[in-house]
Amino acid sequence: MSNRRDFLKTTLLATSALAVVPRISRSATPFTGSVPGNVGARVVSTWDFGVPANQAAWSVLGPGGKPLDAVETGVQVPESDLHNHSVGRAGYPDRDGKVTLDASIMDGDGRCGAVAALEHIGHPIKVARKVMENTPHVLLVGDGALEFALQQGFTKENLLTPESEKAWHEWLKQSSYKPVANSENIDYHHAQRNLGLPGGKNNHDTIGMLAVDANGRLAGACTTSGMAWKMHGRVGDSPIIGAGLYVDNEVGGATSTGVGEEVIRNAGSFLVVELMRQGRSPQEACEEAVRRIVKKRPDGAKDLQVGFLALRRDGECGAYAIQKGFTYAVCDAHKQDLLLASPSVYQTTFT
Ligand code: SD4
């Protein structure tokens, strides 16, 4: 990498790429409104890989297990998936080649735990739960989080797979030699997709998962390797309670995906839950939270992706995103593999 300015420039371009290369899942059903509730227990999660994650969560929730156990179990599916370069093991590294993971977990009773910039542990969500249960704190970061994990019996592992390392080396070349003009955006995004970079078709972002049981008790989990090629030490929205995740048994829960900085700036998931508390439906609440982001940065938002997913305590759920391409999975006693395409502010796709 030539210098810091080049890095930041490239990072911003990568952020744009994340936004404007949304992918519509071929199997996702386009959907424009809230999914009705009152179906008993339900689990919802972000992106296509939410389907198998939901099914794992359902194996806990369906037979009457706790929502907290269900979400912790469910999100471990993409954390373990070596083909998934945005969550857990095999997540793409930061600009220095280090894989640093963020995760949070929250019970509807207000208990919560999180880790940020955690290295060498494949299941950060499990460490987040230990922070919640075995410490007086909510968030542990970096070396401290790793030390804690090792004390709790986790094993140190190398999370950088050969594929991720190769992609990083490709990115390093690009960061050095390819300043990208706006007019070249579409070609650039195609190139990124071929490399499997953020926003590419095989690289779909954070998993955020929300679950409710038949009695209206909720929990949520959110886990990610964050934005690929981020600055070392960068923390996104996913481990920040109120930003990437918020759950309240009195109301419901919300989670987010996309460019975490925008979500943090707007306390996004807390906002969605508070809007539901004031009477908005999950769908309306997600729409308003997305609109706030767009309103604050009307120009920047055209090149950003942020998606919110909300689940009310009666099981009704909704989602909304800035760009087309955000999908979410819904699982309950009636159907365990439903995948829906979220409505969005902008309808443009680059194919
Ligand atoms: C972050 N929101 O770190 C997460 C990751 C993500 O597309 O969703 N990236 O900002």
Yes or no: say if 268 and 254 are a contact pair by the CB < 8 Å rule.
yes
| Span 227-250, pLDDT tens digits | 888 889 999 999 999 999 999 999
Candidate list 206, 223, 257, 327, residue with the active-site label: 206
Closest C-alpha to ligand 1, atom 5: 226
257 close to ligand 1 (CB < 6 Angstrom)? yes
Domains, the chain, in order of start with CATH, read 38-346 (3.60.20.30)
225 close to ligand 1 (CB < 6 Angstrom)? no
206 close to ligand 1 (CB < 6 Angstrom)? yes
Q: Does the pLDDT of residue 186 top 50, yes or no?
A: no
Yes or no: say if 310 and 317 are a contact pair by the CB < 8 Å rule.
yes
Q: What is the pLDDT of residue 169?
A: 82
For the segment 40-46, the average pLDDT, to the nearest whole number, is: 97
Residue 63 CA to ligand 1 centre (angstroms): 32
Q: Name the phi and psi angles at 313, rounded to 5.
A: -65, -15
How far apart are alpha carbons 128 and 102 in whole angstroms? Answer: 9
Strands 112-118 and 139-141: parallel
Q: What is the pLDDT of residue 74?
A: 98
Residue among 31, 53, 22, 24 nearest 340 (CA): 31
Q: Report the residue among 46, 49, 224 best suited for mutation to probe ligand 1: largest number of ligand atoms under 8 A from its CB.
A: 224
Yes or no: say if 70 and 221 are a contact pair by the CB < 8 Å rule.
no
Q: Does the pLDDT of residue 149 top 70, yes or no?
A: yes
Active site residue 206: yes
How far apart are alpha carbons 194 and 197 in whole angstroms? Answer: 8
Residue 40 CA to ligand 1 centre (angstroms): 30
DSSP 34-94: PBP--SSSEEEEESTTHHHHHHHHHHHHTTT--HHHHHHHHHHHHHH-TT-SSSSTT----
